Structure 1
């Protein structure tokens, strides 16, 4: 697994001591309101998610990075690549996603981590296209997608929860890394 340094962040593999701070992020209803059915996750669910994310690195050669603030060493959340198996209509596709703790919102960290992830997708993994899926109404994620140069591709419906989703895309051959 690669490590990526940005001016303010370290995108890295997961450590055992990341489980509790990531569980704190996942326990915040405001953070989780746009994810799945909006339910918060506990420590055990977070540990299982991190284990699954690490397995995706082994299976796919990419996954979700732990995002650490260089200045403080705090875990801010995650950013990275995954296969959006929950939405079969977009497959085969690779999705970029991010989730940060609320105290890290509004400071450009998500955009910084996502931009570094797109560079990784293009330069290290040779991907030529990446998508991002958001729940309609999630303007914060939509703003990050715009900053990345992603464009709307289609509207669809979440196959399990029934709410509207928007799929955005970027052609990495045109991405200015």
Structure 2
């Protein structure tokens, strides 16, 4: 699977991505809205293995995002099936970028490409969720045309109760008619 945009290539993870992905997941500022906050190299590598399995099983996944002009690893973005949401299974969109690539429109560009791909393969709805305090991701979801479904907001069961990251908001977008 390969998706290209004006500035980005979205592709399956390669062994050369492992150190860069581990560095992203070890950056406290990048991971400030995630629980657990930081991942070890082994946990980062395991995430990539899970993404590649998901790609094999479903034909889409959370994949590597690199700049086309210099092949620099920007981060990851993609779609994945999740069973962890109130209301049942859904296809989730997500992204995480290395800090040096923030505020350059890369997350928006990759996510718009993923939404176009979702519609091209016949998906009817894509959801996104994040901690209530994650204003940057919430703003991006709104920029993408996603709407908050406040009735579906939830406490993430993987986060200890009372932790500021526990409260999550759910956004969704339906396939254009």
* Shared fold (TM-score, shorter chain, > 0.5): yes
Distance 1:90 1:22 in 2: 31
Structure 2 residue 16 is matched with structure 1 residue 17: yes
User: Does residue 136 of the first structure (1) align with residue 135 of the second (2)?
Assistant: no
Q: Which residue of 2 aligns with 1:81?
A: 79
Q: How far is 1:36 from its partner?
A: 2.1
Gaps of 5+ in 1: none
C-alpha deviation, 1:173, in angstroms:
2.5
1:65 Cα deviation from its structure 2 partner: 1.5
Q: Runs (4+) of structure 1 moved beyond 4 Å? A: none
User: 1:132: Cα distance to partner?
Assistant: 0.1
Normalising by structure 1, what TM-score? 0.92
Is the partner of 1:173 in helix, strand or coil?
coil
Is 1:153 the equivalent of 2:149?
yes
Q: Work out the CA distance in 1 between the residues paired with 2:65 and 2:87.
A: 26
1:164 matches 2:171: no
- How many residues of Structure 1 are paired with residues of Structure 2 in the alignment? 170
C-alpha distance in structure 1 between counterparts of 2:61 and 2:6, whole Å: 21
1:102 aligns with 2:102: no
Where in structure 2 are the equivalents of 1:33-48 lying within 5 Å?
Answer: 33-38=32-37, 40-48=38-46
**How many angstroms apart in 2 are the aligned matches of 1:90 and 1:65?**
26
Aligned to 2:110: 113
Q: What runs of 5+ residues in structure 2 fail to find an aligned partner? A: none
Query: Please, what is the CA RMSD of the aligned residues?
Result: 1.1
> If the length of structure 2 is used for normalisation, what is the TM-score?
0.92
Cα contact 2:81–2:91 (8 A) shared by 1: yes
